[in-house]
């Protein structure tokens, strides 16, 4: 749990990657908060645990006829790895993947940075935060 610094925000995220605008929005908020010196906790629930899967791979676009290199597709795992890198030199990023959600999806092989946890962690993080933003699936 992140408690250092003046302000901390906790974000609960539920949507899987590549299917909704909420995941991009959440990542942008995390980026902006870290750059403003705000510590960030993320609780990835249900499909959101897939956002950090290490095996995500870029692909070409056969509609446009572009290659993998030309398409330069940044996965959510790459974005999140960048956020962890950003947190090395400033406010902390603590990313918890819901363990039961991970198990039911076989999504346990993730990038360096996130850790396994449970709903109790969301409660604890929320209690220790300036504010909590819940981004559910609609």
Partner 1 sequence: MAGILSVVERAYHGTIEEQDDTILWVSHMLKNAGADLSVLLRSNAVNYAVKGQDASGLSIGGVELSVPPRLDDDVIALANSGAPVYVVAEDLADRGISADDLCDGVQTVSRADLASLFDDHDAIWHW
List the one residue from 63, 106, 112, 120 that touches partner 1 (CB under 8 A). 63
Widest distance between CA atoms in the chain: 50
**If binding is defined by CB under 8 A, does position 104 make contact with partner 1?**
no
* CA distance readout (Å), 54 to 7, 24, 106: 30, 18, 12
**If binding is defined by CB under 8 A, does position 85 make contact with partner 1?**
yes
**If binding is defined by CB under 8 A, does position 23 make contact with partner 1?**
yes
Q: Which stretch binds partner 1 (CB under 8 A): 4-12, 58-66, 97-105, 119-127?
A: 58-66
Q: What is the distance between the terminal CA atoms of the chain, rounded to a whole angstrom?
A: 28
What does the alpha-carbon distance between residue 38 and residue 33 come to, in Å, rounded to a whole number? Answer: 5
**If binding is defined by CB under 8 A, does position 95 make contact with partner 1?**
no
What does the alpha-carbon distance between residue 138 and residue 134 come to, in Å, rounded to a whole number? Answer: 12
List the one residue from 4, 6, 72, 112 that touches partner 1 (CB under 8 A). 72
The residue among 80 and 102 lying less far from partner 1, judged by its C-beta, is 80
What does the alpha-carbon distance between residue 95 and residue 114 come to, in Å, rounded to a whole number? Answer: 5
Residues that bind partner 1 (CB under 8 A): 17-21, 23-24, 27-28, 30-31, 61-64, 66, 70-74, 76, 78-86
């Amino acid at each position: 749990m992140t408690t250092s610094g003046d302000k901390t925000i906790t974000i609960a995220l539920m949507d899987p990657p590549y299917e909704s605008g909420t995941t991009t929005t959440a990542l942008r908020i995390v980026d902006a908060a870290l750059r403003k010196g705000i510590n960030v906790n993320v609780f990835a629930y249900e499909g959101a645990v897939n956002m950090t899967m290490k095996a995500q791979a870029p692909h070409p676009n056969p509609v446009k006829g572009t290659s993998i290199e030309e398409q330069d597709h940044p996965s959510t795992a790459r974005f999140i790895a960048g956020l962890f890198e950003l947190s090395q030199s400033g406010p902390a990023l603590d990313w918890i993947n819901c363990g039961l959600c991970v198990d039911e999806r076989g999504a346990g092989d993730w990038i360096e940075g996130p850790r396994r946890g449970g709903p109790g962690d969301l409660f604890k993080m929320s209690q220790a935060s300036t504010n909590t933003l819940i981004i559910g699936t609609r």
